[in-house]
Amino acid sequence: MTLTPVMPARPKALPQHIASPSPFHTLGVITLAEAHPAGLLRPVSRAASAAAAAIVRFWLEPGEDVSIDVGGDLVLHLQSPSRPEARRRLLEISRDLVSEAVRTPDGPVQLEVGAGVVLRRGRGAENAARRHALTTLEHRDLIPRPDLPAGRILRRLRTPSGVATGAQVVVALLLTFLVPFAALVGAYEAGHDASRVVYLALVTILGVMAVMQWGEAIHAMAASRLPDAPSVAAPPASALIAAYLPNEAATIMETVEVFLGLEYSAPLQVVLAYNTPRPLPVEAELAALAQRDPRLVLLKVPGSTSKAQNINAALPTLTGEFVGIFDADHHPATGVFERAWRWIASGADVVQGHCVIRNGDDSLVAQTVATEFEQIYALSHPGRQRVHGFGVFGGSNGFWRAEVLRATRFRTDFLTEDIEASIRAVRDGRRIVNDPGLLSRELAPTTVSALWRQRMRWAQGWLQVAVRHAHGVVQPGALGIRQRIGLGILLLWREVFPWFSSLMWPLLAFFVWRDGGLAMGASIWWLTTAYTLASGPAQILVARHLAVPEIRRRTAWWWSYGLLGEILYTEAKNLVSRVAQLKQLVGEHHWVVTPRTAQVQASVAEVAR
């Protein structure tokens, strides 16, 4: 089955709904469309608009109102005094409207909505809100616009400067090493020896980091028990593969066939939601496969520029009670849907599995990533979940309760839409768990340049999420104390630590300059240093113990990773984080698709909008 979503037609110009100035603080427009099960968006009937307006009225305060314009959109006049408050209310209304089909005389209608909001009055206000609403409907992420995501906050401060990555690396190195050394020397020459304060701060920071690493390792060893099989039969499930097809053309047929070969005791729908700037020969092969196997649904998403748009567009198509989301290079292990169902049935809203690298033999880079992924997915993620009380969806090999996925959606204006959705879900009180036994094998970058681009996008995306959600650490909500601490570590600590972690070198250089050599007699320095340095190898040993057999037995890989990790790789990742912050500051918000194979080398820059 091949599906193509289309946007509902709208009049090019609509008359202004309000003829005179309004006393209300906020004007909002909710654009409505019918979400057809085939993935289409169709214009709604007047009856559906009326049913939606009736739902909206339950959310209104005294003195507020909603009406229907000539195009079937809902126009709201709210007394929300600020844009954040207005967005929050419109988001709640939008979620309610799409949560279940509205009843009309012609039968139930499943809605898709987009909301726009303005805080001004006048003749152009309603049309401005309508344009914002249409943008939200196009992206299908439910986020009322105009929003101010992390990227755009910084873009308002600085426009993109085009500074070369090489120059940014130099600046980051200067800020990391030369500037702190110069500051220590300058303060000393002015009669203030700041080295003791820096020394104590550094000892504290490194000690805290080591404690967290040891804590993750210890808790990862105490594996969570897989829930018992539920007494009820497994429900229908959906596998959702999101793909930028030119990048996946060489491997997508193999991937789809792997999914169609998965065993599951209930119906398993396989949806391939993809975008492509041009027709490709592999589309005909996919269509022929879909003709032979009706479980495969092909959804081409016109106008999409992101994985988030592909996933959001596929939501009306999904028939499963829970949904596994995968990148197009993933090959899940047999039984993953049965195993994921046990977690979902036990109360989990999202289950993140264990991603295993399957091309580690291709290069030293892929080999390093293969061992690193075992440290991440077998140790850090499950250990952190047990320490902090919540897990994180990593973008692939994650299984969502369908209604939670439809309510959460993925935002197109974040470079790591998966992390942003995870944090929103956690802040909404959703339960995310990690299962290291839920295996799926994927491809790693095979070159340094491809790895650099991938990690740069990850680091910059994490920064965007931190800017957007850091206030959740203190904001009232569903999080407990342990979760708030975990959120602070995940969002704030990870952004500042790369700068502090290297202070040891300018501090040692200052001691040499001041004293003519090193005279580190303080035992706390050596104890902290030994404790900190030991935490890295300890994590590697635990990660190898917990790793999947095909990676665990590669002894040479682990020795290489231990040496590279302690000497080069950790500092390289810290450098990536620093450069990512500089890129965000100067307004660079693009990413390059990582080629899956040596034959697929077309890199496509996509601006995060």
Q: What is the pLDDT of residues 566-582, one digit of tens each?
A: 678 988 999 999 999 99
Query: Cα 550 vs. chain centroid, distance in angstroms?
Result: 28
Strand duo 350-357 + 432-442: pairing: parallel
- What average pLDDT score do residues 430-446 get? 97
More confident call, 597 vs 165? 165
Residue 213 pLDDT level (bands cut at 50, 70, 90): confident
- State yes or no: pLDDT of 433 exceeds 80: yes
> What CATH number is given for 234-444 in this structure?
3.90.550.10
Domain boundaries, the chain: 2-147, 165-218+495-607, 234-444
Cβ neighbors of 115 (< 8 A, separation 6 or more) are: 28, 29, 30, 31, 90, 91, 93, 94, 132, 133, 136, 142, 144, 145
Antiparallel, parallel or unpaired: β 74-78 and 65-68? antiparallel
Residue whose entry in the numeric block shows the structure tokens 């022929």: 288
Percentage of residues of the chain with pLDDT beyond 70? 86
Q: Does position 193 have pLDDT exceeding 50, yes or no?
A: yes
pLDDT in tens, 314-332: 999 999 999 999 999 999 9
Specify the DSSP element, H or E, that contains 238.
strand 237-244
- Label residue 85 by pLDDT band (50, 70, 90): confident
Ramachandran bin of 6, using left for φ above 0, alpha for ψ from -120 to 50, beta for the remaining angles? beta
Task: Please report the pLDDT score of residue 526 as a whole number.
Answer: 66
Range with the poorest average pLDDT among 108-122, 227-241, 322-336: 108-122
Q: What's the pLDDT at 244?
A: 95
Which is more confident, 340 or 123? 340
Q: How confident is the model at residue 408 (pLDDT cuts 50, 70, 90)?
A: very high
- Residue range 92-108: average pLDDT? 91
Tell whether the model's pLDDT for residue 251 goes beyond 70.
yes
In terms of pLDDT, which residue wins out, 595 or 64?
64
Which of 548, 511, 354, 502 lies closest to 433, judged by CA? 354
What gap in Å lies between CA 365 and CA 563, rounded to an integer? 14
- Please state, in angstroms and as integers, the Cα–Cα distance from residue 465 to each residue in 31, 139, 462, following that order: 27, 19, 5
Which pLDDT does position 570 carry in this prediction? Answer: 87
DSSP annotation of 5 = -
Fill in the amino acid letter for 464.
Q
Angstrom distance (rounded) from CA 259 to CA 328: 11
Note the CATH architecture for domain 2-147.
Answer: 2-Layer Sandwich (3.30)
Asked if residue 400 lies in contact with residue 340, where contact means CB atoms within 8 angstroms, the answer is no
Q: How far is the C-alpha of 567 from the C-alpha of 527, rounded, in Å?
A: 20
Res 239: pLDDT: 98
Q: Are strands 322-327 and 237-244 parallel, antiparallel or unpaired?
A: parallel
Q: Cα(350)–Cα(190) distance, rounded to whole angstroms?
A: 56
Helices 448-469 and 364-374, axial angle in degrees (round to 10): 40
Name the pLDDT band for 37 (thresholds 50, 70, 90): low
- Average pLDDT, rounded, for the chain: 87
Phi and psi torsions of 370, nearest 5°: -60, -45
Higher pLDDT pick, 332 / 166? 332
pLDDT over 90 percentage in the chain: 65
Burial of 164 (0-12, 13-18, 19+ CB in 10 A): exposed
Q: Report d(CA 461, CA 467) in Å as an integer.
A: 10
Q: Greater confidence, 383 or 157?
A: 383
Residue among 371, 424, 396, 423 nearest 542 (CA) = 371
